[in-house]
Each structure stands twice: as structure tokens, then as C-alpha cells.
Amino acid sequence: MSGRSRKKRTSSTRGLRGTVYQRGGRWAYMVDLEPDPLTGKRRQRSKSGFDTEQAAWDALAVVNAQLRSRTYVEPSRRTVEEFLTEWLVAIQASVKPTTFAKYATYARAYVIPSIGARPLQDVDTAVVNALYRHLLVSGRARPDTNSVMYQRWLSASRSGEHLTSAALAAHAGVTRSAAANAIRRYRAGRIPSAETGGLKPQAVASVHVMLRRALRDAVTWRYIADNPAASASPPRAEKNPHNTWTPAQLAAFLQHVRNDRLYAMWLLFATTGMRRSEVVGAQRSALDLEAGTLRLVTTHVTADGRMQRSTGKSQRSRRLISLDAVTVAALRKYAGALDEERAMWGSDYQDHGLLFCWPDGRPIYPDTVTEQFGRLLSEAGLPVIRLHDLRHTYATMALRAGVNPKIVSSRLGHATVAFTLDVYTADIPELDRDAAERIAGLFLPPPD
């Protein structure tokens, strides 16, 4: 014990866990916390600086109440960056690879650069709201390489310079493949719109989802008393109608790719609304040509720049879907070509059991499918849509055709019918008009 006198008072007479004692001219308390969760060793915490003995007892009573309600938080200078780094390690094994990759990007690119140095326990709702405002105004962490490439290509085109994909890649700091795809887009008239310095509301809303979950875990771990993101106000992302093709435009695309080696794959996108991950991860053994069905069990996703095998977005996404006669015929022809390629490659064939693969059996990288779609789209001269918009095109056409929403939802692998209708109602206003006429017709006479 130090030279200063220390007069202890036990808590036995007050029914509290811990002790209050005098330290010099002031008062302090010491309390036993729960044992260390890993080692089981005893843990104690103390706090001093109280002017009176009663003040120390009152503070100890508050700590006891927090310990009983399991809301006690140890004072800590742990920063937001330290917490998020620890949190990402903790959740990696419990979430899908794509989810983890997105969370890691949101944390490292948008949250940590802005508030990473702040103590976690100092972050309140006002700080979180300020973060969202900052991200909306100037939160873009990555350069707008598409606009950089376009300006360089436009300058070269106007001066008559022959600009190679290698030169454009070096100028913008992208891969040669990305530069080559960009040149094809620009030649086809697909001009990028200039990006602002801020993130789009939808992106900030996604950051909010990540941060709210992370801080919820911080509460569970007793790093903070409550979740400041739970009461924050993220921007509202407007739901715009999806960008889709008409049946005639979809038919024109399929006619354009008729002789493509992967024609059956493009047809499957169009006639089933399958996700990219589901198509590139489909197993050949899951295809039953006689029954005309395909069972979706595994998916291939891109996470952190690498292709990884997954099991779909949800239990409902693992499903059996029926195939139409035209798609079955195309897949039968494609399967025959696969067998010929396998025989030609012999022992060099890399069998991954995939339905869609390169001639030597190697898996097709998901982003490569997207790049191929963009190239074919540019050649076909059709309105620009994303590969994922083929799924939206399928969904809207099915609902317009009067297919039961429950069946549409099941074929798309959505969690609920309500989700399907909520997502696509804005795309099909005529369904609402038709409903109005049908219902009124049950009890109103025709108009004069």
C-alpha cells in the first residue's frame, strides 16, 4: 500500500457488490466485474476522485444496477477503426462472402477515413448523421475512372490519335480489359455521366445498414451502452422503375447471340430470370433434360476480386425451376457440344461439374459474363441495360402476362410474394389500372 492512508468501507451494510474507500483526501470505489470471458480470471475496476463517501457509494450503486441489467460498459478509448477492424474479423465466418466484402468496403472506404480516429464511446447519433451528410457531399473514395477514360478517348478521337487499350489503361489506372471494354462502350455511344464527389443516397443507405449492424454488435459486446445508428437518419433512396427491355428487344438480343457458344446461357437468363451467380454456378448434374428442370443449389459470386462458391442468397433461392421447350432444346444442343469439347481436351480437361464453363472446363468468372453481355449489347445496338436487368425484364413480362405472382416469386427465388410485388409494382402501372376497372365492374354499370 502506498504511503497515503486508505480507509476502506465494505459494501456489506449497503447490499452492493464492491467497496468504497478513501484515497488521500478523496473517495473511490472498486467493484468486481464478470470474469474474463476467455480465461475466467477475476476482473476488477475502480474509479476515484469523488468528493464525498456518499458520492462514491452512489456511483457504485449505479454500476451495480448496470451489472445486474447487463448494461455496464467499461470506459475505453478504443477507436472506431480498432472496433471495426475487430468486428470484421469476428463476422467473416458468419456471413456470405459477398456480404463480408461489401461490409469491409463500406467500413474501410467510407467510415474509417472519416471517423475512424474517434473513440467509439464518443460516437453518438449526431456524429453518425454528420457522417452521412459528409458521404453525400464528398464521400466518394474511388476516382471516377469511367469519366477519366472517356475524356481521354474523346480527346484522342477528336485529334485523330490512335488510342490503344493499353495506353488508356495506363492513363486511368485500370486493367487493360476494363479499358478495352470502355472503348467498345464509347464507340457504341454509351457515354458515361459525370460523377459528383458524393455518394448516391442508396450507397449511403447501404453504409448505414452496415454501421447499424456493427454498432449493434458493439452493444452486445458491451463496448457501448446503446446503438447511435439505430436512431440516425440515413438518406432515403428513391425507388425508380427498373430499366427493362420490351419482349421485342429481348427477342432481338437473343437473335443476335444465336450463334454465340454460350447462347443457351443467354437464353436461360431470358427465360428464367436467374441471377448471374446462379447461372455461372449451376451444376450440370442438376440439369434434367428429360424432365425439363434445373435445380439451383450452388452459386459462384465475386467477393474481394475473387470468385467464390456460395449457396445462394436465401433458402428460397435454392429451388427447382421448370424450363420451357425452346430452352431445353438449346441446353440439349449445348450439352452435346460440352461432351465433344471434353473429349477433345482429354486428360487436360478441368472438370468442375459446371453447366457453363470454358471449352477446357474452367469456370467462367462472373464479371466476365457481365463484360461479354456488354460487348454483345453494343454489337446488337439495343437500349443499354445491365445484365441484372434481364432478371427484371423477365419478372415484369411474367407479371404482365398474368402469371400468378406466387409462381413468379418462386421462380425468381424471392423470400416472399410481398417482396416480389413491392419490387415490381411501380414497373407495371397497367396492373393497377386493370385492377381498378375489374373491381368497379363488379358493381358499377358501364359508363354512358
Q: What confidence tens digit (pLDDT) does each residue in 300-348 have?
A: 887 666 777 776 666 667 899 999 999 999 999 999 999 999 999 999 9
Closest to 34 in 3D by CA, of 76, 90, 72: 72
β-sheet bridge partners, residue 204: none
Tell me what percent of the residues of the chain surpass a pLDDT of 90. Answer: 59
Judge whether residue 4 has pLDDT over 70: no
The pLDDT value given to residue 362: 95
- Average pLDDT in the 274-285 region? 95
d(CA 110, CA 116): 9
The class that CATH gives domain 80-140+199-220 is mainly alpha
Averaged pLDDT, 225-252: 91
pLDDT at 1: 42
Burial 121-150 (b: 16+ CB within 10 A, else e): bebeeebbbebbebbbeebbeeebbbebbb
- Surface-to-core class of residue 414, CB atoms within 10 Å of its CB (0-12 exposed, 13-18 middle, 19+ buried): buried
* Of 188 and 407, the one with more pLDDT: 407
pLDDT-wise least confident of 3-7, 140-144, 293-297, 332-336: 3-7
Cell for 25? 483526501
Domain 247-427 of CATH type 1.10.287.70: no
| pLDDT greater at residue 55 or residue 313 | 55
- C-alpha 104/C-alpha 119 separation (Å) is 20
| pLDDT higher than threshold 80 for residue 14 | no
| pLDDT at 8 (0 to 100) | 56
Tens of pLDDT, residues 94-106:
998 889 989 999 9
Sign of CA dihedral 317, 320, 322, 328: positive
Domain ranges across the chain:
8-68, 80-140+199-220, 145-187, 247-427
Q: Please determine, for residue 6, whether its predicted confidence score (pLDDT) is greater than 80.
A: no
Is 192 or 312 the better-scoring residue by pLDDT?
A: 192
From the list 356, 185, 210, the residue with the least C-alpha distance to 283 is 356
What's the mean per-residue pLDDT of the chain? 89
pLDDT at 289: 97
Of 238, 279, 291, 273, nearest to 372 (Cα)? Answer: 279
Region 21-45 average pLDDT: 86
CA distance 314 to 335: 28
pLDDT at 3 over 50: no
pLDDT value of position 352: 94
Measured in Å, how far apart are the chain's first and last C-alpha atoms?
102
**Which has the higher per-residue pLDDT, 173 or 352?**
352
User: Of the given ranges (4-8, 117-121, 244-248, 440-444), which has the lowest mean pLDDT?
Assistant: 4-8
- How far is CA 223 from each of CA 17, 85, 125, 210, 217, rounded to the nearest angstrom? 22, 14, 16, 17, 9
Tell whether the model's pLDDT for residue 441 goes beyond 90. Answer: no
The set of residues, in sequence order, having a beta carbon less than 8 Å from that of 238 and lying 6+ positions away, is 201
List the grid coordinates of 171. 492513363
| CA–CA distance, 167 with 149 (Å, rounded to integer) | 10
pLDDT digits (tens, 9 = 90+) for 379-426: 898 998 999 999 999 999 999 998 999 999 999 999 899 989 888 877
Question: If you average pLDDT over each of 73-77, 325-329, 364-368, which comes out highest?
Answer: 325-329
